[in-house]
Structure 1
Amino acid sequence: MKAVRLHRYNEHPVIEEVAEPKITSPHDVIVRVGGAGLCRTDLHIIEGQFREKSGVTLPYTLGHENAGWVHEVGSAVSNVAVGDTVIVHPQISCGFCRACRAGDDMHCANAGFPGMDLDGGMTDLLKTDARTIVKLDPGFAPEDIAALADAGLTAYYAIKKAVCLLYPGTKAVVIGAGGLGHIGIQCLKALTPAEIIVVDRSREALELAQTFGVDYAVLADGKQVETVKEITNGRNAEAIIDFVGEGSAVDDGIAMLQRAGSYYVIGYGGKLSIPTIDIISTEINFIGNLVGTYNDLVELMTLTAQGKIALHTTVYPLDAALEAIQALETGNIRGRAILVP
């Protein structure tokens, strides 16, 4: 079968033939991939940003946002059957460590992460574990929802953390309305009564955001901080949801955060630099967000089934993976890129 394989950091992956995965454990599940999302994390993997963190041995197959149909199951699998439509939680968890017992499975002490430190889903068949599988209504098309497995899940997880701050009359600033941001906006609309201010340098991204009913769309033209201050009457926002996390976005976000507000970091690549006295004197909070739990993914898929979350996607055949990667690198993808074997 074909797979998108990374052989060397700072070089584009290659499409090559690999052996099909085999069932080796009673709880193994092999999924026939119907859609594999491509995101900026894949670019960061290619750049080597996860070289030390993942400990992966190259070459390996990319792809951590996956949906499809159950192809084969191990002898102890009872929650799904061959042919079921599924979305795959990105982290394989053990179920026995303290984090798993607490339902905090993305912090599993014995985790595996296909597409990060194991072979991922940019291929025909993905090997995973029964604990990762969320069974879906067969009406779902995997290529339409694959990116919810990470991009959607991460956005939902961050917004859930912010819910307690965002009562009626509050304002939330979303930095970046692209692949993750456009999902985060919909999660904010579904879960909170806050007024939503979206900041992006792309007019097309802002136009997409407006279709989801945001209250203010602000072009990042160098005056975005002043514009947000005007919108908030100088008070700034209770929550900053940063889907960029690099460049000037971080400094802008801090400047738009009000006293006792919280800054949710989802995008990454930059550095947070702020005097500790500024954190203490204003009691602002910085909160990291790593994927989300299995139950979060179930909840997100429920919202999707209710029509409250929709992905804007651009579909590429697996053979065009390099074209999709180049389009993502140059910022020419609106919403999410999905590879279909």
Structure 2
Amino acid sequence: MKAVRVHAYHSRPVVEEVPEPTVTGPFDVVVRIGGAGVCRTDLHIIEGQWAEKSGVALPYTIGHENAGWVHEVGSGVTNVAPGDTVILHPTPTCGLCHACRAGDDMHCADNAFPGIDSDGGMAEYLLTSARACIKLDPATRPEDVAALADAGITAYHAVRKAVPLLPPGTTCVVNGAGGLGHIGIQSLAALTATRIVVVDRNPEALKLAEQLGADETVVADGTHVEAVLDLTGGHGAEVVLDFVAEQGAQQDAFAMTRRAGSHFVIGYGSNIDIPTIDIISTERNVVGNLVGTYNDLAELMVLAQAGKVTLHTRQYPLDAALDALADLDAGRVRGRAILVP
């Protein structure tokens, strides 16, 4: 089968032929990929940012946003069968540890992360587990929903955590309206009555944000922090969802947060430098966010299949994976790039 493989960091991946995965364990599931999302994390992987954390041996196949059809199952699998349409939670988990039993499965003590620390889904087939599979309506097109498996679940997970902080009368700033941010906007609109203020440097992204539920939009032109403070009476927002968190955006996000507010860090790539006195004197919170739970993804799929959250995508054939990565890196993708084998 064809797969997108990283052979060396700081080098372009290679689309090449590799053996198809096979079932070896009772709970294994092999999925024929119908759509694989292209994520900024894939760029970070190629740059070597994940090398030490993942410990993955090169070469390997990237791709952690995957949906498709069940191809083969192990002897113990009862929740899906060959032919079923599925979206895959990004982290196959053990189901036995404290985190899994608490429903906090992205912190499983014995999980895998295909596309990060093992072979992923930018390929024709992917080996996963029964615990990662969410069965979908057979009419669902995998390429239409694949990016919900990471971009979607990550954005939804952050919004879900922020919901108790966002009663009517509050303001939430969405910093970055790209692949994750445009899903965050829709999730906020579906789950809260907060005022949604979207900040992005790209006017086209802000036009999309308006269509998806943004109440106010602000161009990130160097005066955006002051603009957000003006919109909030000089106080800042109760919650800032930072889908950028690099190249200075992470500092701006904290500056846009009001006293006792919460800065949710979702994007990554740079350090946050905050004087401790600025944290304690205002009691502001900095909250990390890692993907989301299986239940988060199941809830998000309910919203998606009800039409309340939609992905804006640009599709590429698997052979054009390098073009998709280059377009993402250059900011030419509105919404999410999807590879279709």
* Cα deviation digits, residues 25-77 of structure 1 (max 9, x gap): 00000000000000100000000000100000000001000000000000110
Find the aligned partners of 2:223 and 2:262 in 1 and give their Cα distance.
22
Q: How does 1:1-341 map to 2 (within 5 A)?
A: 1-341=1-341
Aligned amino acid, residue 38 of structure 1: V
Instruction: Tell me the secondary structure at the aligned position of residue 49 of structure 2.
Output: coil
Find the aligned partners of 2:144 and 2:227 in 1 and give their Cα distance.
35
Find the aligned partners of 1:213 and 1:174 in 2 and give their Cα distance.
11
Q: CA deviation at 1:226?
A: 1.1
Gaps of 5+ in 1: none
* Cα deviation digits, residues 92-122 of structure 1 (max 9, x gap): 1011111111111100111111000110000
Q: CA deviation at 1:290?
A: 0.3
Find the aligned partners of 1:255 and 1:294 in 2 and give their Cα distance.
33
Find the aligned partners of 2:204 and 2:171 in 1 and give their Cα distance.
23
Aligned amino acid, residue 217 of structure 2: A
Find the aligned partners of 1:321 and 1:157 in 2 and give their Cα distance.
28
Find the aligned partners of 1:22 and 1:302 in 2 and give their Cα distance.
31
Find the aligned partners of 1:286 and 1:235 in 2 and give their Cα distance.
17
Find the aligned partners of 1:229 and 1:272 in 2 and give their Cα distance.
20
Q: CA deviation at 1:254?
A: 1.3
Q: CA deviation at 1:267?
A: 0.3
Instruction: Tell me the secondary structure at the aligned position of residue 286 of structure 2.
Output: strand
Instruction: Tell me the secondary structure at the aligned position of residue 282 of structure 1.
Output: coil
Find the aligned partners of 1:109 and 1:37 in 2 and give their Cα distance.
26
Q: CA deviation at 1:252?
A: 1.0
- Scaled by the length of structure 2, the TM-score of the pair is 0.99
- Scaled by the length of structure 1, the TM-score of the pair is 0.99
Instruction: Tell me the secondary structure at the aligned position of residue 292 of structure 1.
Output: coil
* Cα deviation digits, residues 227-285 of structure 1 (max 9, x gap): 11111111210000000010121111111110000000000001111111111110000
Find the aligned partners of 2:329 and 2:253 in 1 and give their Cα distance.
23
Find the aligned partners of 1:226 and 1:74 in 2 and give their Cα distance.
57
Q: CA deviation at 1:213?
A: 2.1
Misfit runs of 4+, over 2 Å: none
What is the aligned-residue RMSD (CA, Å)?
Answer: 0.6
Find the aligned partners of 2:214 and 2:92 in 1 and give their Cα distance.
35
* Cα deviation digits, residues 310-336 of structure 1 (max 9, x gap): 000000000000111111111101100
Paired residues in the alignment total 341
Aligned amino acid, residue 68 of structure 2: G
Gaps of 5+ in 2: none
Find the aligned partners of 1:229 and 1:99 in 2 and give their Cα distance.
39
